[in-house]
A and B are shown apart, each in its own frame.
Chain A
Amino acid sequence: MTWTARLQGEAQPQAADEQPSLHLGPGRVIGRRIQRLEDPRLLTGQAPFVADVNLPGMVHAAIVRSPAAHGYLRTIDAAEALGSPGVQAVLTAKDLDELGVGEMPVHWLRPGQRNVSNPILATDKVYYVGQPVAVVVADDAYAAEDAAELVSLEIDPLPAMVNAEEALQPGATILHEEWETNLLAEHIASGGDVDRQFEHAEVVIAERFQIQRQAGMPIETRGAAATYDPLTGELTLWVSTQMPHLVKTDICQVCGWPGHKVRVIAPAVGGGFGVKEPPYPEEIVVCVLAKQLARPVKWVEDRREHFLASVQAREMTWDVELAADGNGRILGLRGRVIYDVGGHASAQGIGVPIVGTGMMLGPYDVQHMRVHILGAVTNKVPAGAYRGFGRPQATFVMERLVDELAARLNLDRAAVRQRNFIAPHAQPYRNALGHVYDGGDYGRTLDRALRQIGYDVFAARQAEARAQGRLLGIGFVTFVMEAGLGPSEQIVRGGHMTGTYETVLIRMDPSGKAVVYCGSSSQGQGHETTLAQVCADRLGLDPERDVVVVLGDTATTPYSPASAIGSRVGMVGGAATFLAADRIREKLVKLTAHLLEANVGDIEISEGLAYVQGSKDRALTIQEVATAACLGSNLPDGMLPGLEVSETFDPPVSTFPYATHAATVEIDPDTGGLTILRYVVVQDCGTMINPSVVEGQIAGGVAQGIGGALLEQLVYNSDGQPLTTSFMDYLLPTAVEIPDIEIVHLQTPAPDIPGGMKGLGEAGTVAPAAVLGNAVADALAPFGIRVTTLPLDPDRLWRAINRRGDGAS
């Protein structure tokens, strides 16, 4: 079978009536449901994850972690551990200091932010259970763990502060005494004149919302393995990370090592979801030890450690008010959010609530808001990124308010939304905080989702069910998110340490095959496939047979400051690939014209051939043209030999993908258990490089959102002891809880991005908590319950139904 036939054979019709029109001709690979190139090695157990890196002479590290949530670290006694069988070394902060190793930088800084870096190992104080204090290295992991238990820590305990709101009260126990406050940093997200809107508002909805602590919880924990060559001074680190180049930058900065002697490789990475965004102390420690011991060193986090030492997320308390007129027209939003930072700033500082609040007004034409963001430290694991990055919380708050507004005015929830949506003709739209949206028809996604889920007949079904004592509810949410985060200049001005551009290098050799080098790593998003599709599409190649994508190795790939964060690789990396491939194409076309003595404008490239339009007998294979270019003979005047192009794409703007999610639920009044009956997504993410990958990202994101809405909660007791440190306590959704996600695509190419991609990776997680919150409120409307607190677990719902305790309200 020819590759064209195979590709066409694999393209499956989409269920949606919004089937995008695909180019046939140039543009025949973008948009295809090709099978993923990375799958065979993953399916057969051949893909190397960091735990699989085994080198001769390798020793293993185990981390000694603080058992106390808060206290003065007085002494570390490692004598017994050092005498334990197989132990090679014990490392503490004192050793790091003597070696001149610095602190972990915080990458996101606000003016006045009180910490800009954090110790790698605890020095004089511990701030959370799990904080790394010492490292034991032994011949095998069992011996290292045995010895780690023998390291004796003397800690004078201090009262633990586990509530971010209380942490900001006068007289609260202060974690970082030199700050004289627990306020890490603050920011006011403000636009328009919101107080004036409230003066003439006919309706004000005031509410308090609490979102629980959750975590991305990839199934592969973190891990790092390093080796150092004393002859060359070169260090290689394999690390399970989303950002290999930034890990390298931090290693060089913290250790004072030159960049050309440090190589960081992200091998196969088993899920990231934001958890593996920041560089971590253990990664630095492994490098330092590999150099000091002149032996390869490996550390693989276990699941309990993951619950104690990898960034957690989402925990916020919101006090907000929404102003509207009597017709449900929203006038303004104001309030305050307190973000629980944990023991110290993670790399992301208070970036999470800033990003979330930045798009809180979402699809609504409202020009007035002010939200005061306060980040408070508490004696818990530092909080950072988790897929969605503040947007799920802000969307939950805003969309619950909109439903409450509709209920207060006795208006239809869909009608209130339609009344407030930004009209398509008002695009590009500048929101209250200055983000300029790049187009969108929000009303269309809502209409489409409600049609799909049968909103018009649901009220009758619900009434019928209620008459039988059954509780059905429907919820729906339309949101817009900022993706890609560009341009770099603007992001850096906003306090983020790094820009958000991406550079892609494409090399073609005389065989006519292409290798695409991109500095991001992949944690399952399928970048290897999608970037190959973009390259193949532009160059008339078969993505499976003719293109290889190399990711995540700092020695071979161009510098990538942001890598796999912010839903940006498909969009920014895809655009860079698009541009680089087009430049290779341009050269192939010129050279073909020269070789065939034809006009440049008449040359076409497709299906592995370069030919004169309309006369395929005047053709060269791509291999023949590439051979001429690479060997450097018979080139037109002024053309340099070689087929190697590097293109940097710095997005001139962010993109604004949008969607409507809708769900129907049934709640069992006897148990409080919730079943999702249907879940519909209508998504516009711009150009889809591979619709199967897009749908996979949406479905997975929605599943995580459902977990966060219904099941997942990281719990600490009043002493700051974590009570959820296993999968027995922290409940991830299984195949039984997650329904089929029905996905409908709209496809409006992003106007400012080559290729038209808008970014997608996080989109699925943004809405589920809000959708299910609205559905639960609808189901429980007869009980007069306000849904303001997550998770919506059976206990909370049963209490709400039975009016015990605070229930859902």
Chain B
Amino acid sequence: MIVTERAVSVSVNGATYARTIPVRLLLSDFIRNELGLTGTHLGCEHGVCGCCTILLDGQAVRSCLMFAVQADGHELITVEGLAPAPGQLHPLQEAFRQEHALQCGYCTPGFLTTLIPFLESNRDPSELEIRQALSGNLCRCTGYQNIVKAVQRAAREMRTVEPGR
């Protein structure tokens, strides 16, 4: 018999969701439509634009290239889970605002989620390293330079906030 549905349990932004879902459901559609977390955007659904990037066990992955069932038992963080509290911004989000690193904002969640593990693994990146880290995400509005500046600012801020690490 062909299995068309399967039960999954996924932690997203610290909350656990148990659902029975079609096995072909994309992780991106699961997050957006089943969980109502529509901050994760879809730009191409073939893994190039990077809009749908989320954190899976701390790693940046493209949720349009995974089935939701593959996320069973894993911990996800989406753009909605980045800020420390409602009404506040993560230092990276704050830096994006200060440097005018977003215009339409559609690609922004994917940039943020791509950059969080990057900045955790590289606390003082060079401009070239930043540009290479960004090169898997497409932005059609900004020309990228303000995003580069925002990453530099965020790196500075994040070093200041956690000097001991």
In the bound complex, do residue B140 and residue A704 qualify as a contact, i.e. CB atoms below 8 Å apart? Answer: yes
The yes or no answer to B10 lying at the interface (CB within 8 A) is: no
Nearest residue, chain B, Cβ from A529: B100
Cβ < 8 Å to A, chain B residues 26-44: 29, 32-33, 36-44
Chain B residues whose CB sits within 8 angstroms of the CB of A46 once the complex forms: 39, 80
In Å, the complex CA distance between A665 and B11 comes to: 49
The yes or no answer to B155 lying at the interface (CB within 8 A) is: no
Chain B residues whose CB sits within 8 angstroms of the CB of A15 once the complex forms: none
Nearest CB in chain B: distance from A18 CB, A:
20
Nearest residue, chain A, Cβ from B96: A43
In the bound complex, do residue B105 and residue A303 qualify as a contact, i.e. CB atoms below 8 Å apart? Answer: no
Nearest CB in chain A: distance from B109 CB, A:
5
Give the size category of A's interface with B.
35 or more
Give the size category of B's interface with A.
35 or more
Closest 10 CB pairs of A and B: A45-B39, A270-B106, A42-B105, A524-B104, A524-B103, A703-B143, A699-B143, A727-B48, A52-B38, A45-B79
Nearest CB in chain A: distance from B9 CB, A:
22
A270 in contact with B41 given A36-B97, A44-B89, A741-B145 (CB within 8 Å): yes
Q: Which of A44, A268, A695 contacts B83 (CB 8 A)?
A: A44
Nearest residue, chain B, Cβ from A725: B46
Mark A46-65 against chain B: 1 for CB-CB distance below 8 A, else 0. Answer: 11110110100000000000
Nearest CB in chain A: distance from B103 CB, A:
3
From B41, B82, B109, B140, residue with most partner A Cβ within 10 Å? B140
Please name 16 further chain A to chain B contacts, defined as beta carbons within 8 Å, in addition to the given A219-B43, A525-B103, sorted by A numbering. A36-B100, A39-B96, A39-B102, A43-B79, A44-B93, A51-B32, A142-B22, A220-B43, A221-B43, A268-B105, A271-B106, A696-B142, A700-B142, A727-B138, A732-B140, A734-B135
Nearest CB in chain A: distance from B161 CB, A:
18
Nearest residue, chain A, Cβ from B99: A692
In the bound complex, do residue A726 and residue B48 qualify as a contact, i.e. CB atoms below 8 Å apart? Answer: yes
Nearest CB in chain B: distance from A521 CB, A:
11
A43 in contact with B142 given A54-B33, A523-B104 (CB within 8 Å): no
A–B pairs, 14, beta carbons within 8 Å = A38-B105, A40-B89, A44-B80, A44-B82, A44-B89, A217-B140, A269-B104, A270-B107, A271-B104, A303-B49, A700-B142, A727-B48, A734-B136, A735-B147
The yes or no answer to B134 lying at the interface (CB within 8 A) is: yes
The yes or no answer to B67 lying at the interface (CB within 8 A) is: no
Chain A residues whose CB sits within 8 angstroms of the CB of B36 once the complex forms: 54
The yes or no answer to A166 lying at the interface (CB within 8 A) is: no
A49 in contact with B106 given A43-B112, A142-B24, A735-B144 (CB within 8 Å): yes
In the bound complex, do residue A39 and residue B105 qualify as a contact, i.e. CB atoms below 8 Å apart? Answer: yes
Chain B residues whose CB sits within 8 angstroms of the CB of A38 once the complex forms: 105
Nearest CB in chain B: distance from A475 CB, A:
18
Chain B residues whose CB sits within 8 angstroms of the CB of A268 once the complex forms: 104-106
In Å, the complex CA distance between A38 and B106 comes to: 12
In Å, the complex CA distance between A30 and B36 comes to: 39
The yes or no answer to B157 lying at the interface (CB within 8 A) is: no
A727 in contact with B46 given A45-B37, A703-B142 (CB within 8 Å): yes
A43 in contact with B143 given A36-B100, A303-B46, A732-B138 (CB within 8 Å): no
In Å, the complex CA distance between A701 and B143 comes to: 7
Mark A464-501 against chain B: 1 for CB-CB distance below 8 A, else 0. Answer: 00000000000000000000000000000000000000
From B22, B138, B144, residue with most partner A Cβ within 10 Å? B144
Nearest CB in chain B: distance from A36 CB, A:
7
In Å, the complex CA distance between A523 and B106 comes to: 10
The yes or no answer to A702 lying at the interface (CB within 8 A) is: yes
Q: Helix, strand, loop or mixed for chain A's interface? A: loop
Mark B127-154 against chain A: 1 for CB-CB distance below 8 A, else 0. Answer: 0001110111111111111111000000
In Å, the complex CA distance between A408 and B60 comes to: 55
In Å, the complex CA distance between A40 and B79 comes to: 12
The yes or no answer to A175 lying at the interface (CB within 8 A) is: no
In the bound complex, do residue A736 and residue B135 qualify as a contact, i.e. CB atoms below 8 Å apart? Answer: yes
The yes or no answer to B45 lying at the interface (CB within 8 A) is: yes
Chain A residues whose CB sits within 8 angstroms of the CB of B49 once the complex forms: 219, 303, 727
Nearest residue, chain B, Cβ from A727: B48
The yes or no answer to B51 lying at the interface (CB within 8 A) is: yes
The yes or no answer to B53 lying at the interface (CB within 8 A) is: no
Chain B residues whose CB sits within 8 angstroms of the CB of A702 once the complex forms: 143
In the bound complex, do residue A734 and residue B134 qualify as a contact, i.e. CB atoms below 8 Å apart? Answer: yes
Cβ < 8 Å to B, chain A residues 561-604: none
Mark A737-759 against chain B: 1 for CB-CB distance below 8 A, else 0. Answer: 01011000000000000000000
In the bound complex, do residue A271 and residue B140 qualify as a contact, i.e. CB atoms below 8 Å apart? Answer: yes
Nearest residue, chain B, Cβ from A742: B145
The yes or no answer to B63 lying at the interface (CB within 8 A) is: no
Nearest CB in chain A: distance from B156 CB, A:
16
Chain A residues whose CB sits within 8 angstroms of the CB of B37 once the complex forms: 45
In Å, the complex CA distance between A42 and B39 comes to: 8
In the bound complex, do residue B106 and residue A39 qualify as a contact, i.e. CB atoms below 8 Å apart? Answer: no
Nearest CB in chain A: distance from B95 CB, A:
10
In Å, the complex CA distance between A728 and B136 comes to: 12
Chain A residues whose CB sits within 8 angstroms of the CB of B143 once the complex forms: 699-703, 738, 741
Chain A residues whose CB sits within 8 angstroms of the CB of B145 once the complex forms: 699, 738, 740-741
In Å, the complex CA distance between A693 and B98 comes to: 12
Chain A residues whose CB sits within 8 angstroms of the CB of B82 once the complex forms: 44
Nearest CB in chain A: distance from B18 CB, A:
20
The yes or no answer to A218 lying at the interface (CB within 8 A) is: yes
In Å, the complex CA distance between A730 and B128 comes to: 24
Nearest CB in chain B: distance from A60 CB, A:
10
In the bound complex, do residue B44 and residue A726 qualify as a contact, i.e. CB atoms below 8 Å apart? Answer: yes
Chain B residues whose CB sits within 8 angstroms of the CB of A412 once the complex forms: none
Chain B residues whose CB sits within 8 angstroms of the CB of A219 once the complex forms: 41, 43, 49, 51, 104, 106-107, 138-140
In the bound complex, do residue B144 and residue A738 qualify as a contact, i.e. CB atoms below 8 Å apart? Answer: yes
The yes or no answer to A127 lying at the interface (CB within 8 A) is: no
From B43, B93, B97, B136, residue with most partner A Cβ within 10 Å? B43
The yes or no answer to A154 lying at the interface (CB within 8 A) is: no
Chain B residues whose CB sits within 8 angstroms of the CB of A202 once the complex forms: none
Chain A residues whose CB sits within 8 angstroms of the CB of B98 once the complex forms: 35
In the bound complex, do residue A220 and residue B41 qualify as a contact, i.e. CB atoms below 8 Å apart? Answer: yes
The yes or no answer to A328 lying at the interface (CB within 8 A) is: no
Chain B residues whose CB sits within 8 angstroms of the CB of A52 once the complex forms: 32, 38
The yes or no answer to A519 lying at the interface (CB within 8 A) is: no
Nearest CB in chain A: distance from B84 CB, A:
11
Chain A residues whose CB sits within 8 angstroms of the CB of B140 once the complex forms: 216-219, 271, 273, 700, 704, 732
In the bound complex, do residue B93 and residue A270 qualify as a contact, i.e. CB atoms below 8 Å apart? Answer: no
In the bound complex, do residue A524 and residue B45 qualify as a contact, i.e. CB atoms below 8 Å apart? Answer: no
In Å, the complex CA distance between A48 and B32 comes to: 12
Nearest CB in chain A: distance from B85 CB, A:
11
